[in-house]
């Protein structure tokens, strides 16, 4: 529970800083953000998504899922790779559509974060499912 609180407080603090800079100062003016959207996305990934993934990797759940992945044999991994390609293709496609058709706002950034967090969760969940399938195939 403490880790969940840390993740949520990290994001709230990050959003407070980002949106304060965006709306109250000229550090990230809206015109610059619209003209340099690809740079803004990289900043967002670097300062928000990657740290969240690192925090998530520190949890016991994620450590168990990574050990599940490491213990998979090679035959099981190929189908898992195809599944993960589909999951992340879907997540990136939704994010592209989201940013293509809607303006940048609190809501679109929260939805985009939810997409990437969901993709990360589904990735680690698929590790556990692949491990269970491999064990059931042996028995």
pTM value? 0.60
**pLDDT tens by residue, 11-68:** 667 666 666 666 666 666 667 667 777 777 777 777 677 777 667 667 777 788 888 8
What confidence category does residue 1 fall into, taking pLDDT thresholds of 50, 70 and 90? low
The count of structural domains within the chain is 1
Taking 80 as the threshold, does the pLDDT of residue 3 lie above it?
A: no
Tokens 């967090």 found at: 117
Q: pLDDT, tens digit, for every residue of 128-138?
A: 888 888 888 77
Residue 25 CB coordination number (10 Å): 9
- Sign of the CA dihedral running 33, 36, 37, 39: negative
Domain of residue 92 covers 2-138
Taking 70 as the threshold, does the pLDDT of residue 122 lie above it? yes
Own/partner contacts of 112-118, CB < 8 Å, gap of 24 or more, are 113/11, 113/48, 113/49, 113/52, 115/91, 116/49, 116/91, 117/52, 118/91
- Is the pLDDT at 81 greater than 80? The verdict is yes
Which of the residue ranges 4-13, 21-30, 99-108 would you say has the lowest mean pLDDT?
21-30
Alpha helices of 25-73 — where are they, by DSSP H? 30-35, 37-44, 50-57, 60-70
Better-scored residue on pLDDT, 1 or 51: 51
């Amino acid at each position: 529970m403490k880790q969940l609180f840390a993740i949520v407080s990290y994001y709230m603090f990050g959003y407070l800083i980002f949106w304060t800079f965006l709306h109250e100062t000229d550090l990230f003016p809206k015109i610059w953000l619209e003209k340099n959207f690809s740079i803004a996305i990289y900043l967002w990934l670097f300062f928000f998504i990657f740290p969240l993934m690192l925090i998530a990797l520190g949890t016991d759940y994620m450590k168990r899922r990574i050990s599940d992945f490491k213990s998979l044999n090679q035959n099981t991994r190929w189908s898992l790779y195809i599944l993960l390609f589909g999951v992340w293709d879907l997540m990136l496609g939704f994010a592209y559509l989201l940013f293509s058709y809607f303006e940048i706002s609190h809501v679109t950034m929260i939805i985009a974060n939810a997409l990437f967090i969901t993709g990360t969760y589904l990735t680690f969940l698929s590790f556990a499912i692949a491990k269970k399938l491999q064990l059931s195939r042996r028995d």
